[in-house]
A and B are shown apart, each in its own frame.
Chain A
Amino acid sequence: MLEKLKEIILNYVEVEPEAVTPEARFMEDLGFTSFDFMSMLGEIEDTFDVMIDQQETADIRTVQEAVDYLEKLTA
């Protein structure tokens, strides 16, 4: 899951792949804007064939939190 997500993340920000660690924060460490983040959620919906409730994603700040959320959705 982390590897797949990493691939998607790298479509939105110009960072070295090594920078996408589980602890990395989307906005502060990876340089996401709030709209980049929203657009990425849309791509995740398509890639993993899930429906995301935007309100549930409000607390996601790190890559690991996104992985946890996705694992819950696809479980």
Chain B
Amino acid sequence: MVCNTIRDILLQTEAKFGDKDAVRYKVGKDSIESKTYSQLRQDSEHFSGALKEMGMQGKHVAVIGATSYEWILTYLGIVNCGSVAVPLDVALPPQEICELLNRADVSVLVYDEIRADVAAMAKEACPNLVKIISMQKKETEGNVLSLHKLLAESENGFDEWANPEELCTIMFTSGTTGKSKGVMLTQRNLAENATCLDMKIPSRTVILSVLPIHHAYCLSMDILKGLSLGSIICINDSPMRMAKNIHLFGPDMILMVPMMIETFAKKLEDAAALPPEMVKKQVFGDRLHTICSGGAYLNPAWITLFEKYGITILQGYGMTECAPVISTNLDWNKKLGSVGRLMPNCTAKVVDEELWVKGSSVMQGYYKMPEETKETLTEDGWLRTGDLGYVDEDNFIFLTGRKKNLIITSNGENVSPEEIENALSENRLVQEVLVRETGGVIEAEVFPDMEYAKNHGITDVKAGLKSIVDSYNKDAVAYKKVAALKVRDTEFEKTAARKIKRF
């Protein structure tokens, strides 16, 4: 079934599997609770109704928290009533989140209590915010509303359809300018991306969702595609407990980023002398047979290694701007070294070695960033991916490099090198700095200001630079931390415009 709205996905699946589990999650150490498709539809409609009753229908509603049943129902409630969801990274510092709330013109914030600090700061820092809703509070406290109470009190269901061409989600992604960009996706962008390709995955497949839910890859493929297939979506409560949760939930399929696959690969290599069936059972449980990989480059050697253990890795490719999947390998249609065959709703061409794509999943543009939108989207709807590559005669995509400077870490996070360079350059000891990814970690190469060091009695320049990096790392999100420092004794080579040559 190809759906062009998210509500269509939910209703079609509910019609088939209404009383069957849609979402399973842990309560306490190892008990499992679940919600059915009918409960999910009803709860999300009650949230749509609550937004309408509060006069917030059509407004921008941010949601922040780890993956949870509440997160999913909130997201569906927002987009299914024609409002715009703004999913935010649960790991960001509160100031950055408040800045994004302001930039995205958010009127309602729905938050997980693990980010109560955000709610507290947003009350002061976000003047446009009208309502704040807690996912866990049982009762209204001051001006913070309770999600559970809103659902219980929302008497009316909700029976309106959103327009497929309407904006429904703004997802923030890092940009090369150092300022994150809000990717505007419509109902059709997301719904068709999740449903246009028949991957021949049986309904009732058990999926373990382990990626951050604010990422397009997880939201689209774990949640929206999972719902469209009538899957059982199991929530991994922490990356710490993934190995344990594989045994607890017994998934058939998991979406991962390469960093996770590498960790499992190391375990498999350590156990190479043992019988594969035994190792597979111990590491992946009885049922796991498919891992979908996306978000970053995957070493093809892991695909071959996992095959020995009866696990197929399907490498795909995409970007948030394309809602997000552009291509994927399939079990019966794959090529080693390729990032997969183009999605049926997508066409591609190569312009000056750069891959351009067009189709029903291509975003509307960046929210309130007309210049950046113009740089990325052509007037006739082509999306410049920034990736270098080619498409073969069977529509399989092969990538050869990254055009933009953006660092994609091995766990799929986007890091803007300029952002880190700017932060480090605030200290005068740093005359020039270049940040890049080297050997899987973020490295900063610094040309120190020796005169400044001399004038300020800094005898151990390397130690001085290390303490600058340490002080930056103290407040940085884990994936933006600088792990390696290189000190150079000559200036960087410059372009004609006196900019440092990156490569």
User: Which residues of A come within 8 Å of B, CB atoms?
Assistant: 11-12, 14, 27-28, 33-36, 38-39, 41-43, 45-46, 51-52, 54-55, 58
Task: Give CA–CA (A3, B262) in the complex, Å.
Answer: 26
Report B438 CB to chain A, min CB distance, Å. Answer: 13
Q: Which of A14, A54, A55 has the most CB of B within 10 A?
A: A54
Residues of B within 8 A of A36 (CB): 263
| Contact status B240-A34, CB under 8 Å | no
Partner among A33, A51, A54, A55 whose Cβ is within 8 Å of the Cβ of B411: A33
| Contact status B114-A55, CB under 8 Å | yes
Interface assignment of B492: CB less than 8 Å from any CB of chain A = no
Interface assignment of B388: CB less than 8 Å from any CB of chain A = no
Residues of A within 8 A of B484 (CB): 28
Residues of B within 8 A of A14 (CB): 266
| Contact status B259-A42, CB under 8 Å | no
Report B260 CB to chain A, min CB distance, Å. Answer: 5
Task: Give CA–CA (A34, B410) in the complex, Å.
Answer: 10
Report A57 CB to chain B, min CB distance, Å. Answer: 8
The 6 closest A-B pairs by CB, nearest first: A38-B239, A42-B240, A41-B240, A35-B259, A38-B240, A42-B241
A54-B259 in contact given A27-B441, A42-B243 (Cβ < 8 Å): no
User: Which residues of B come within 8 Å of A, CB atoms?
Assistant: 29, 114, 238-244, 259-260, 262-263, 266-267, 270, 410-411, 440-441, 478-479, 481, 483-484
Report B499 CB to chain A, min CB distance, Å. Answer: 29
| Contact status B266-A12, CB under 8 Å | yes
Report A21 CB to chain B, min CB distance, Å. Answer: 18
Task: Give CA–CA (A38, B259) in the complex, Å.
Answer: 12
Task: Give CA–CA (A12, B244) in the complex, Å.
Answer: 16
Task: Give CA–CA (A36, B259) in the complex, Å.
Answer: 8
A35-B259, A45-B241 provided; 11 other pairs, C-beta below 8 A?
A14-B266, A27-B483, A28-B484, A33-B263, A33-B411, A34-B479, A35-B239, A35-B262, A38-B239, A39-B239, A45-B240
Minimum CB distance partner of A28 in chain B: B483
| Contact status A35-B238, CB under 8 Å | no
| Contact status B263-A12, CB under 8 Å | yes
Provide 23 A-B residue pairs closer than 8 Å at the C-beta atoms, listed in order of the A residue.
A11-B270, A12-B263, A12-B266, A27-B441, A27-B483, A28-B483, A33-B410, A34-B478, A35-B239, A35-B260, A35-B263, A38-B238, A38-B240, A39-B263, A42-B238, A42-B240, A42-B242, A42-B243, A43-B243, A45-B241, A45-B244, A54-B240, A55-B114
Task: Give CA–CA (A55, B240) in the complex, Å.
Answer: 11
| Contact status A34-B238, CB under 8 Å | no
Q: Which of B238, B479, B481 has the most CB of A within 10 A?
A: B238
A34-B259 in contact given A12-B266, A42-B240, A52-B240 (Cβ < 8 Å): yes
Task: Give CA–CA (A41, B240) in the complex, Å.
Answer: 6
